[in-house]
Structure 1
């Protein structure tokens, strides 16, 4: 990589770190450290909410998803706008009026300490796993660029971020997030422009997208109702609704964002920002993945996008088989490029149908060779789950973008990752200290003591996330991995809050047993019915908790009428 790109990366990261340190004033007490003294404007909170989601996983994993599968993934977010409307009239006023530090504090007031503790513990496990996945995304990039060991790159990203988070508080996180959003959007638009410019002179953008459409990558809607498909209109609308309600309404990493707002109204406005802009932004990211696919229709792609695994195969006894596969790959690519060029130019319907059939056959041949190469990697490395979808976008960035733009994109990815990781670690530390240490270990202590413990908790969760990151890169598409982790827990956590807010009949024992029942039901479905899409785990968990909780509450009712708000 050119020295100019390194200078850009260094300057940008220094600027972001300086921004974080600059906003640590007012973080000497726990209210300032955890909630920014509840003083942030709605637009800053809204951008922080979006930046926490728009991590390096979005830029690496979602673009890879778009490359491999097209626009279908956008259906995942169809429940988001409705979720934001519901939360704006329920969770936001609820938590603001309760004056809590964490969402789980209320569960003790409504139910009991055991329900609060179990729910908090589930959040810590789920968010710790997700945080590790967020670290793995930029680690993938550095492992490609530097040729470094993945363990080293994970530690280089995770440990400094944990240290940075220890020094700052939620104010530092919020205001660095604001700057991240501007840079990330600029980087995404710049990459999209570079991809369009990189098309052959005689192939227009419309023609190129027509070719992509022949493979199904431009299909954004699938109206089939099936539990076995993850990305359909109904799974996104129903399963996605439950996931988004839990993520934005019950996950401390998001609740903490809008608890920092100046008022209830400004917190509500911050959520509407995500409702309006999240789906268009996801379409942009997925479209970049589609454009990368189109780019590689006319420009030679590598047979495998991960050079580390490729080098291992070439150094193994399977080197001869891999070399033979490379020759077939080059031949298959030439045939596909010719077929794609013809399909992009032909207009007459009958001729277009024939050209499309020829192109799809050539694309299938190329996929077959890549599948063979993937099998060789799995055999040599022993990694049966190997996929290189997470390496597609970083490979394009480092091999085809001009000097300077490479540095901007990589800086944006790394800084976005650090910002998202900081947000997650801050939420994990808040829950650890408020829901466990202050509640169960040392209820009375000065703020300075709690801040010291918060920094220790941040360091612990940073190390935990680094360990998870070492395994996450081999689990498939990173954007899917993080949502699989979340969906295993989110529905059940949402179910507890539904019992708390929507009915007076639920007792503490009912909520506690319901939570265990919901998690048990999700685990049973996940391990015995793997064909059921993980998005439906959110619905199963929430409904399971409510049903079991209400049934147990009939047998063991609340000792007295417990207010629902």
Structure 2
């Protein structure tokens, strides 16, 4: 399929944006497949089963409202500029140094986060196929790099569409079988620990009390995280830039905002079933004590594959595990393509003194995809032990930059007095403050980093701008983004707002 889709590639824009020919439904499904990756399919059920329970669903409360923010401000402004890299806007609004700094930070942190993904999936493949870790990750990455190399963004989008159907179907099948193993939905819920059934947790603040997954950090931290991730992170925003129009971009965000919650609920239900099974069968945790780096401790990342291997019938084992592999590839393919896009647009194309032909740029684009695939594979050998579950590890890495990243973009869109030097100082201050929290304030929820980094970056940048008084560049003086909402977009915003409120009400009744 990727080889067939590559027939229309003539330049780097075709490779990275698919010729702006993809429809909103395909882009929405692709984006959702990337977000709901193997990190989620391995990490969230484990979290629900053995750690925090259904409070993970609080994380989803911010999604509809984040989509509204993106539809109203960030994505219409960026999509109208016909960008490949969202960080090109940073140079237009501020300067080249700000663009290169942000692009470099994105590449480094995304490479580490992708290494965590590869690590988690590699462990699963090694367990299933009875091969060593190196062979497992080589199997995974070889397949992903080949189809990403050939098909570019079109291959990413359409493979993700196939994979999200497979993911959703396999998770639903897994929930049905798991509940049946436990004796039905009644017995499954009866033995599941009561403290993990609560979906809303107002008992803490996450500000020094050790309550990482309390309501407020998950709601506010999740809101800022999703704003930054879907609007300012190249891995997600690149799909929104590949639409045919601003209206299609908003429609893709709208569809994603509606469909994401039902998918998350399904793999939370799988976690409930696994938690109940472990309560019935305490020996299950013994089967997870196979990590040589932590002898005697269960590796919760393997809860889903071990449960499937030991309890599911032949055939369904293959379906569910292929669904998990599909989820892994849907996350990796878009990440590698976006890292290649940033490398080409923000460094090679921007800094190369001589003009390259379209063919040369297309070849370089594909080669950088391969190089980042190899680099992320290497990172997977050094980033395995950040947190108990891979989903928390990936989110912690991303939360270092999310707040300052969002601050930089909103400074550019909402102000004219903040110049390049002030913006860079604010970005660095926000990133450093989050790093200090990680190092010295372990009792502060990492979800708050998304908020604190944003606030610190804005405050420091604003204060520095008052002292620095840097004159705005020509682009800043001329920019005038007007919020012109179509009647269709207004309806979509209203529906998402109501949907978000209904989710909150529903979770409060659980």
TM-score by length of 2: 0.89
CA contact (8 A) 1:188 1:285 kept: yes
Of 42, 45, 48, which residue of structure 2 is paired with 1:63? 45
Name the counterpart of 1:217: 196
CA contact (8 A) 2:113 2:398 kept: yes
Name the counterpart of 2:178: 195
Name the counterpart of 2:167: 184
How far residue 409 of structure 1 moved from its aligned partner, in angstroms, is: 0.9
Unaligned runs of 5+ in 2: 482-510
Name the counterpart of 2:401: 489
2 CA distance for matches of 1:492 and 1:124?
15
2 CA distance for matches of 1:503 and 1:414?
44
Residue correspondence of structure 1 range 116-515 to structure 2 within 5 A: 116-200=99-183, 204-214=184-194, 216-223=195-202, 224-227=204-207, 228-299=210-281, 301-306=283-288, 308-309=290-291, 377=295, 387-442=298-353, 444-475=355-386, 476-515=388-427
2 CA distance for matches of 1:564 and 1:242?
24
How far residue 31 of structure 1 moved from its aligned partner, in angstroms, is: 1.5
Q: Deviations over 1:398-421 (max 9, x none)?
A: 111111111111111112212221
Name the counterpart of 2:13: 31
1 CA distance for matches of 2:123 and 2:380?
10
CA contact (8 A) 2:229 2:402 kept: yes
How far residue 307 of structure 1 moved from its aligned partner, in angstroms, is: 6.0
Name the counterpart of 1:319: none
Q: Secondary structure at the match of 1:98?
A: coil
Q: Deviations over 1:196-227 (max 9, x none)?
A: 21123xxx42243132142x121110123332
How far residue 560 of structure 1 moved from its aligned partner, in angstroms, is: 3.7
Q: Deviations over 1:514-543 (max 9, x none)?
A: 111111211122211121111111111111
Q: Secondary structure at the match of 2:192?
A: helix
How far residue 229 of structure 1 moved from its aligned partner, in angstroms, is: 2.1
Residue correspondence of structure 1 range 509-528 to structure 2 within 5 A: 509-528=421-440
TM-score by length of 1: 0.80
How far residue 115 of structure 1 moved from its aligned partner, in angstroms, is: 0.6
Q: Deviations over 1:352-394 (max 9, x none)?
A: xxxxxxxxxxxxxxxxxxxxxx7xx16xxxxxxx651101110
Structure showing greater Rg: 1
CA RMSD in angstroms comes to 1.8
Q: Secondary structure at the match of 1:479?
A: helix
Of 544, 549, 554, which residue of structure 1 is paired with 2:461? 549
CA contact (8 A) 1:150 1:470 kept: no
